[in-house]
Every structure is written in structure tokens, then in C-alpha cells.
Structure 1
Amino acid sequence: MTSTEANTPLPAEKADPHPTEVEARPSDYLIVRVKDRDGERMAIGRYLHGIESWRVDGFSGDAPVLEWWPMPAAGSGNMVDSVC
């Protein structure tokens, strides 16, 4: 991500949308901080440029997104030695 992209208020459109996504013009999936009835929480979501609306897991309709971050790159996190 460039510094210009980091300062934009909305995420970029997905580079290679599925044919069923072309009209909605979604961003890639993101980590978002949203306001809900119990305060704030983290979730996964994306911005739909075609309708100027956020879609977030666990919300119906437009979600009240406060902040967003790109998803981490695979292999950039802490690795788990074994899964029980």
C-alpha cells in the first residue's frame, strides 16, 4: 500500500471482480472497526462503490464503519506450531 492509498477515506475497488460483482464494484475484504449496540467491535467487511455502502459480517444493510485496514498478507502473522 502506498502512502497515498493509506490516506484515502475509502478502500480501492477490487482489481479483479467476479463477473457477478462488476456492478457493485466492491473493495477487497478488509478488517473494519464498527459501532454496534454494545459499543464497538472488529469485523470483516468491504465497501461497495456501486452503491456507496459498507457491507460487514453480522450487519444487515449499511454498517457504521469507523475505521478500516487491509487484510494481512498470508504468512505475515505469528505461526501456530500445532493445532489440537
Structure 2
Amino acid sequence: MNQSRLPDPKANPHPTEVEAQPSDNVIVRVESREGYAMDIGRYLHGIESWRVDGISGDAPVVEWWPMPEPGTGTMI
């Protein structure tokens, strides 16, 4: 796994987040028993660990992407 770059810590963390130093939410691809899945996650710099929605504990993140900017997607 290439760990060349992690998401930057959140610029304005809530007082309860200061110790964990989370990143902003990002889109992640995680490895699971069923293969791969996409979800929303954040990297906790304070404990060097990924947290992903719907997965308890350290998540097996394979790669990540920044969240899209509002208004830049394709509308249906």
C-alpha cells in the first residue's frame, strides 16, 4: 500500500477533536471480506489511524480522495 500522502488535519477542529487531530471527511476505498467498498472516512493524525463510517475500530483504507466541491458534480 502506498502511503505517500495522508489528508491534512482539519483546519478548525472542535475542542473535543484537538487531541485526535482528525482530517476533514474524505472518500475512501476500504478492503473487506466481500472485496472493496467506498465510504466516507477521516484520518486521525493523533493516533495514526483511519476511522470510516460503519466500521468500528481501525479501518483497512486502501486509498482516499478529497470530497468534491459543491456544484462540481454531474446533476441528474
**2:30 alignment partner AA:** V
Which stretches in structure 2 are left out of the alignment for 5+ residues?
A: none
Question: Would you say how many aligned residue pairs link Structure 1 and Structure 2?
Answer: 74
Moved over 6 A (4+): none
Which structure has the bigger radius of gyration? 1
Partner of 2:16: helix, strand, or coil? helix
Q: TM-score, normalised by structure 1?
A: 0.83
Match of 2:70? 74
Q: TM-score, normalised by structure 2?
A: 0.91
Which stretches in structure 1 are left out of the alignment for 5+ residues?
A: 1-6
- Higher helix proportion, which one? 1
Tell me the C-alpha RMSD between the 2 structures.
1.4
Q: 1:45 aligns with which of 37, 41, 46?
A: 41
Q: Which has the higher contact order (CA 8 A, sep 6+)?
A: 2
Is 2:15 the partner of 1:19? yes
